[in-house]
Amino acid sequence: MPITIYKAGDKYQVSVRPPEGSTWRSNEPMSPEEIFDKLVDLGCHTTDISDAFYAADPFWTKKEGQAR
């Protein structure tokens, strides 16, 4: 899968490779909102981003403060 998200405590690490977007990897854990913004800026589709979050953590949308 071109977008890979790993759970890191209450945040997430992410890596992306083509064809989903430009090659990029987070240097530190990020919030879902930060990841969405960054990956959309890199050209990733929001459905692919959501799918990667669900693969990493099926309950990611149920977390307190989660806007997505």
Query: What is the rounded distance in angstroms from the CA atom of residue 58 to the CA atom of residue 41?
Result: 24
In this prediction, residue 43 carries a pLDDT of 86
The pLDDT > 90 percentage for the chain reads 60
Query: What is the rounded distance in angstroms from the CA atom of residue 4 to the CA atom of residue 2?
Result: 6
In this prediction, residue 18 carries a pLDDT of 77
DSSP state of 30: B
Residue in this structure with the two tokens 């690490």, named with its chain if needed: 13
Domains of the chain, by residue range, sit at 3-60
pTM of the model: 0.81
Residue in this structure with the two tokens 């981003």, named with its chain if needed: 49
Structural tokens at position 60: 């990611």
Asked whether the predicted pLDDT for residue 68 surpasses 50, the reply is no
pLDDT in tens, 21-45: 668 899 999 999 999 999 999 888 9
Query: What is the rounded distance in angstroms from the CA atom of residue 48 to the CA atom of residue 45?
Result: 5
